[in-house]
Amino acid sequence: MNSTYKSVLTIAGSDSGGCAGIQADIKSISANGAFAASVITATTAQNTQGVFDIHPIPVPHIKKQLKAVLGDIVFGAVKIGMLHSSEVIEAVQETLKEYRIRNIVIDPVMVATSGDRLLNSAALNSLKSFLGDALLITPNLPEAELLIGKKIDSEKLGEAAKEIGNRFQTSVLLKGGHLEVSDQMTDTLFLYETQNTVFIYNNYIATKNTHGTGCTLSSAIAAQLSLGLTLEPAVRKGCSYLNEAIAHGKDRRLGKGHGPVHHFF
């Protein structure tokens, strides 16, 4: 008796160091029990210590990658990482609409670990227009502040997630990794359809091996959606998986900088 793979498409950049980007996405999707396909938007010269060069893939080739996989494979979810220009954002948005893709998870990568913005104003505006097509967006605190154009009070995360969700008409997982260190990590999930806010707690783990956590989390959630879970359980499982992956990778060493989580614990 034949069975069909539960598949996820990741659209993102490649990390030559293997900790983040497409490489982390594929590992996370696979570890969560789904099949991973990929469309690469850029290649990077990158390792555990930083990003040294970015080579954008030409937009026509990105479109050809999209049409090749979307015309052949049925995807239960699509995860989107950094889209570096307005042209790329618009091309991805148009093509996903053409194929009537649902269950889109957007990790709106806009701010580097250094704090530098990765998108110019035109690209940020294009990204904002895309967010309403998503089932879920997963900004961290600096990215959330860029989306609404103001500082977010750490005591009012629920209100901030709701404001973002209602402004862009999508559910929001506001990640807590940039909050002050405490015994617990708090991620805030605003469910747009029900207007409910859920707080997800996990133990804080002291480690520098956090390279690729955002990619890993959004991909894990997409994988759980492809396996048939509804949004809240998929987010809870994704958060739990990431926490375990951080815990199992906290004392491992790769390179001289910030290492990865342990995807296959």
Does 215 participate in catalysis according to the annotation?
yes
Burial label, 28 (beta-carbon count in 10 A; 0-12, 13-18, 19+): buried
- Of 44, 188, 213, 216, the active-site residue reads 213
Does 175 participate in catalysis according to the annotation?
yes
Positive or negative, the Cα torsion across 41, 45, 47, 49? negative
- Of 138, 210, 237, 249, the active-site residue reads 210
The two three-digit tokens of residue 122, written as one number: 């035109």
- Of 214, 238, 249, 259, the active-site residue reads 214
Q: Are 155 and 139 within 8 A, CB to CB?
A: no
Does 158 participate in catalysis according to the annotation?
no
SS3 call for 36: strand
- Of 175, 188, 237, 259, the active-site residue reads 175
Q: What angle do CA 177, 181, 185 make, to 5 degrees?
A: 50
Does 48 participate in catalysis according to the annotation?
no
- Of 18, 81, 212, 238, the active-site residue reads 212
d(CA 38, CA 41): 10
- Of 215, 216, 249, 259, the active-site residue reads 215
The two three-digit tokens of residue 10, written as one number: 């990741």
Catalogue the active-site residues: 175, 210, 212-215
